Amino acid sequence: MATRQITYLEAVREAMSLEMRENNDVFILGEDIGVYGGAFGVTRGMIEEFGPERVRNTPISEAAIAGAAIGSALTGMRPILELQFSDFITIAMDQMVNQAAKTRYMFGGKGKVPMVLRTPAGSGTGAAAQHSQSLEAWMAHIPGLKVVQPSTAYDVKGLLKAAIDDDNPVIFYEHKLLYKTTGDVPEESYKIELGKADIKREGTDVTIVATAIMVHKALEAAVELEKEGISVEVVDPRTIVPLDKETIINSVKKTGRLIVVHEAVQRGGFGGEIVSVVAESEAFDYLDAPIKRLGGKEVPIPYNPKLEKAAIPQVPDIIEAVKETVKNK
Amino acid sequence: MMVKTLKLPEMITEQKLKDLYKEMWLIRYFDEKVDQFFAKGLIHGTTHLCVGQEASAAGSIAVIGRKDKIVSTHRGHGHCISKEGDVNKMMAELFGRVTGYCKGKGGSMHIADVEKGNLGANGIVGGGLPLAVGAALTSKMKKEDYVVLCFFGDGASNEGSFHESVNLAAIWDLPVVFICENNHYGMSGPVKEMTRVENIADRASGYGIPGHVVDGLDMIEIMNTVHEAVEHARGGNGPTLIEMKTYRWKGHSKSDAKKYRTREEEKEWREKDGIKRFKETLIDAGVLTEETAKQLQEAANQEIENAVKFAESSPEPSLDSLLEDVYA
């Protein structure tokens, strides 16, 4: 396959466009996704190619547009709903949690809701407390939903195709600060199966399971630690529902040490689930040090850039955690 | 022949009128039976009965076709029956049996019959309105030419989802008919205390769509008004908001002591019984006689008795089915 460098943002757009050219049932709806091109510019140029019927600019009505996506999915379409900020899932919560996630089960296995809710998450843009959260653990808690958190342009394209092809509601979290990052991405369409973790870097001394932007911070930390002779393995689950437990468990069996890093507030964060999976598995017997969790501080995301940075794990925090974990090596 | 004295949409034949009369009894007997079984502890959980509200379900759904769809509410047994629902599967669902509509996993508030165009009851007040808009969007985008009847109550009209959904359907000219079954109480909250406007349909002008208030116990008025709205929607002209003034004879749910209304008020509404009124209309028009009316009523009663036998003799779901159907 011919590859070239494109951004994470372009990979999102390309995955959607390829699917929309192939399948007339796929369409996008969301606020300001028309001529404006979306709050972050993801859909720029799409209304020109696909027209206003399939790139549906909506009023500011998160509950209704989420429900309209669900109702259209239940009757044969494959909608992609863009929410401008993942914080706004709160306003669409009834539709996603009480309707989309449960419809099939409540109806005794009849009907399906093949939809994708795409939305940017995370801090780092100075948008403060209502536009910077990482609420993926909420969604991961709900049976019936799938939850994806891609970290690279390559993963975005393959995972978004898988999400669109999936017959279930999928929450697809894009990270705002990753939109401009670039990577090698094949021109053709390809799929990355949901529920397959990726080992982003192999190592032998400690496993870091990191999600979204924390994958990049963990990789940076790994480069620094290598200089001091510490070999770090970085596992990116890519999807937290379904979760590739096997890859995580096998990595911990190999390294004997585990650190979990995510941007979301540590209390009640998905890291606790990953840690439990390991603690309850045969990998427990391989542990040579206590498990560590690094997550966001228990505060709303502040506006001041220095405070904002301090609210979530940074590279030095990861380096320090690794050093503590391997000190008895 | 005599049916011509009644002004009706043309798909409403003399036979259809007879079927509708029986259907209204089917709804009433179904919910009366459910009420009895709850009292005896034979059905658990909760349920919301539409005894007294049969006309709004039967009359509205009478004027749509098989390919058209409905979105129902927590008080949805009548809607399901009218959309060609199978009372055996409904009763079995309330008994929690594997032969029920939802294999015993949904209960009263989640009965759906997707194949027949019933996109489901809904346990969330106002939860169905956005779904109806989405189903109508499919009709428009895939040019499937179906219309969606979206039922909701007076209580739901104060949910944000009502505002968002009606506006969205209006700006996109979607084929939805929003049908507010105003039974005068949102659980215990009287509509007069909870809503400032005289009629919920008055709100239609705020969305730039037609609004109509109808007597929710008058089958003829219901059929004609909904028919007009359905034609309007099918013609690509967008949604209509229809309010049907009706009354639920029973409480909100099984735990209701009905302290918020008087027995006199209940008696007044019972006297306005929509089934009795429809019978009188049909007898006057020569469609029914006292004798044929009685036969249809008895046939409905028998169908419900059979549904009970079906439900009682059906097996419960196996524990192995617990984790099935979470994902497609």
CB contact under 8 A, B325 and A64: no
Residue that terminates a domain, selected from A186, A206, A226: A186
Query: Mapping DSSP to helix (H, G, I), strand (E, B) and coil, where does residue B201 land?
Result: helix
Same domain, yes or no: A217 and A170:
no
Chosen for mutation from B138, B140, B145 (greatest number of chain A CBs closer than 10 Å) is B138
- What is the DSSP track for B248-292? -SS-SSTT---TTS-HHHHHHHHHT-HHHHHHHHHHHTTS--HHH
Same domain, yes or no: A38 and A58:
yes
Residue that terminates a domain, selected from A153, A186, A219: A186
Same domain, yes or no: A178 and A285:
no
**A:21-40 residues touching chain B, CB 8 A cutoff:** 25, 27
Query: Which pLDDT belongs to residue A329?
Result: 74
Chosen for mutation from B99, B115, B129, B131 (greatest number of chain A CBs closer than 10 Å) is B131
Same domain, yes or no: A157 and A280:
no
Query: Which pLDDT belongs to residue B3?
Result: 57
B167, closest residue in chain A (CA to CA): A59
- For B201-205, the CB contacts below 8 A with 24+ separation are B201/B241, B201/B242, B201/B243, B203/B157, B203/B166, B203/B241, B204/B166, B204/B240, B204/B241
CA B73 distance to own-chain centroid:
8
pTM beyond 0.90? yes
Same domain, yes or no: A77 and A154:
yes
3-state helix, strand, coil in chain A (%, to 5): 40, 20, 40
Contacts of A143 in chain B (CB under 8 A): 326
Q: Which tokens is A193 given?
A: 């199966």
d(CA A195, nearest CA chain B) in Å: 14
Task: Please list the residues that pair with A174 across neighbouring strands.
Answer: A120
d(CA A80, nearest CA chain B) in Å: 13
Please tell me whether the peptide bond between A305 and the residue prior to it is cis, using omega within 30 degrees of 0.
Answer: no
CA B218 distance to own-chain centroid:
15
Residue that terminates a domain, selected from A135, A161, A186: A186
Q: Which tokens is B201 given?
A: 């349909």
Number of H helices, E strands in chain A: 12, 14
Residue A80: inside a domain: yes
CATH code, A203: 3.40.50.920
Same domain, yes or no: A42 and A67:
yes
Same domain, yes or no: A163 and A219:
no
**pLDDT grade for A35, boundaries at 50, 70 and 90:** very high
Query: Which pLDDT belongs to residue A135?
Result: 98
Using the Cβ of A72 and the Cβ atoms of chain B, whether some distance falls under 8 Å is answered with yes
Contacts of B120 in chain A (CB under 8 A): 103, 106-107, 111
Same domain, yes or no: A126 and A260:
no
Residue A235: inside a domain: yes
Contacts of B161 in chain A (CB under 8 A): 63-64, 67, 94
Chosen for mutation from A25, A50, A56, A72 (greatest number of chain B CBs closer than 10 Å) is A72
Same domain, yes or no: A292 and A316:
yes
Instruction: Find where tokens 């990270």 sit.
Output: A175
Query: Which pLDDT belongs to residue B4?
Result: 59
Decide if pLDDT at A243 tops 60.
Answer: yes
Using the Cβ of A77 and the Cβ atoms of chain B, whether some distance falls under 8 Å is answered with yes
Residue A231: inside a domain: yes
State the Cα–Cα distance between residues B78 and B93, nearest whole angstrom: 15
Which residues does B contribute to its contact with A (CB < 8 Å)?
Answer: 69, 71, 100-106, 110, 112, 114-115, 119-120, 122-124, 127, 129-139, 141-142, 160-161, 164-165, 167-168, 171, 324-328
State the Cα–Cα distance between residues A59 and A117, nearest whole angstrom: 17
CATH code, A179: 3.40.50.970
Q: Which tokens is A119 given?
A: 């939305």
Residue A191: inside a domain: no
Instruction: Find where tokens 């539709």 sit.
Output: A95
- What is the DSSP track for B78-134? HHHHHTT--HHHHHHHHTT-TTSTTTTSS-GGG--BGGGTB----SSTTTHHHHHHH
Give the domain range for residue A243.
Answer: 198-325
State the Cα–Cα distance between residues B176 and A154, nearest whole angstrom: 41
**A:298-327 residues touching chain B, CB 8 A cutoff:** none
d(CA B210, nearest CA chain A) in Å: 20
CB contact under 8 A, B69 and A69: no
State the Cα–Cα distance between residues B164 and B152, nearest whole angstrom: 14
What sign results for the dihedral spanned by CA atoms B12, B16, B17, B21? negative
State the Cα–Cα distance between residues B152 and B242, nearest whole angstrom: 11
Residue A151: inside a domain: yes
Higher pLDDT, A328 or A150: A150
Query: Which pLDDT belongs to residue B1?
Result: 47
How many Cβ pairs closer than 8 A exist between chain A and B? Answer: 147
b/e per residue B131-163 (b: at least 16 CB within 10 A): bbbbbbbbbbbeeeebbbbbbbbbbbbbbebbb
Residue A192: inside a domain: no
Residue of A131, A175, A216, A262 marked active site: A131
Using the Cβ of A61 and the Cβ atoms of chain B, whether some distance falls under 8 Å is answered with yes
What sign results for the dihedral spanned by CA atoms B80, B86, B87, B91? negative
What is the arithmetic mean of pLDDT over A168-189? 98
State the Cα–Cα distance between residues A87 and A120, nearest whole angstrom: 9
Instruction: State the ipTM, two decimals.
Output: 0.94
Selecting from B110, B131, B164 the residue whose C-beta is nearest the C-beta of A107 gives B110
Domains and CATH numbers, chain B: 2-37+49-315 (3.40.50.970)
Same domain, yes or no: A181 and A255:
no
Q: How many domains does chain A have?
A: 2
pLDDT along chain B (328 residues), means of 10: 77 97 98 95 92 98 98 98 98 98 96 96 97 98 98 97 98 98 95 96 98 98 98 98 97 87 96 97 96 98 98 97 97
CB contact under 8 A, B105 and A108: yes
Residue A216, C-beta contacts closer than 8 angstroms, at least 6 positions apart:
A151, A178, A181
Selecting from A73, A77, A168 the residue whose C-beta is nearest the C-beta of B327 gives A168
Same domain, yes or no: A171 and A225:
no
Residue A22: inside a domain: yes
Instruction: Summarize pLDDT for A55-98 with one digit per residue, the tens.
Output: 999 999 999 999 999 999 999 999 999 999 999 999 999 999 99
Decide if pLDDT at A277 tops 50.
Answer: yes
State the Cα–Cα distance between residues B208 and B170, nearest whole angstrom: 7
Query: Which pLDDT belongs to residue B257?
Result: 86
Query: Which pLDDT belongs to residue B5?
Result: 81
CB contact under 8 A, B106 and A108: yes
Contacts of A109 in chain B (CB under 8 A): 103, 324-325
Decide if pLDDT at A37 tops 70.
Answer: yes
Residue A202: inside a domain: yes
Is position A175 annotated as part of the catalytic site? no
Query: Mapping DSSP to helix (H, G, I), strand (E, B) and coil, where does residue A182 land?
Result: strand
Chosen for mutation from A95, A102, A105, A116 (greatest number of chain B CBs closer than 10 Å) is A105
Same domain, yes or no: A116 and A158:
yes
